[in-house]
C-alpha cells in the first residue's frame, strides 16, 4: 500500500504521518469520519479515501477493486466527486474538488 498526502481544504495544512493532527474525511452525502493519527496510507477513521471516492462515483467503476478504481478515477482526465479532508468539520460545506496533494509528501 502506497503513502498518500494531501493538504486540508479548509486550512491548507499538510496532512502528515510525522506530525499528526485531527482530520475529517467527508463524503458528498454528509457522512464523515474522524482521524487523529494519520499513518500516511489514505485511511481516515477506518475508511480508505480512494475506496470512498470509488463509492461516490459508481458510474466510473473500472473493476471490483474499489481502491484501485478510486485511484484510477482520481488520476484520470474526467471530472469526479471527491471526498473532502478538513480540520474543522463544523461549518464546512462540501465541494466536489479533491483536496490538493501535498508537494512535500507530508514530510513537513
pLDDT in tens, 10-41: 999 999 888 899 999 999 999 999 999 999 99
- Longest Cα–Cα distance of the chain, Å, equals 37
CB atoms within 10 A of CB 77: 4
User: In the prediction, which pLDDT does 55 show?
Assistant: 96
Report mean pLDDT in 10-residue bins for the chain, 108 residues.
85 92 97 96 96 95 86 94 97 94 72
Q: What is the DSSP letter of 43?
A: E
User: In the prediction, which pLDDT does 63 show?
Assistant: 73
User: In the prediction, which pLDDT does 91 show?
Assistant: 93
User: In the prediction, which pLDDT does 49 show?
Assistant: 97
* CB < 8 Å & 24+ apart, contacts of 32-39: 32/89, 34/89
Residue of 33, 42, 78 lying closest to 60 (CA atoms): 78
Amino acid at each position: 500500500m502506497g503513502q498518500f498526502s494531501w493538504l486540508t481544504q479548509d486550512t491548507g495544512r499538510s496532512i502528515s504521518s510525522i506530525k499528526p493532527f485531527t482530520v475529517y474525511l467527508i463524503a458528498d452525502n454528509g457522512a464523515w469520519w474522524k482521524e487523529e493519527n494519520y499513518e500516511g496510507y489514505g485511511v481516515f477513521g477506518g475508511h480508505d479515501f480512494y475506496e470512498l471516492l470509488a463509492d461516490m462515483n459508481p458510474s466510473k467503476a473500472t473493476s471490483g477493486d474499489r481502491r484501485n478504481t478510486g485511484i484510477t478515477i482520481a488520476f484520470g482526465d474526467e471530472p469526479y466527486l471527491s471526498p473532502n479532508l478538513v480540520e474543522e468539520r463544523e461549518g464546512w460545506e462540501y465541494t466536489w474538488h479533491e483536496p490538493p496533494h501535498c508537494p512535500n509528501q507530508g514530510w513537513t
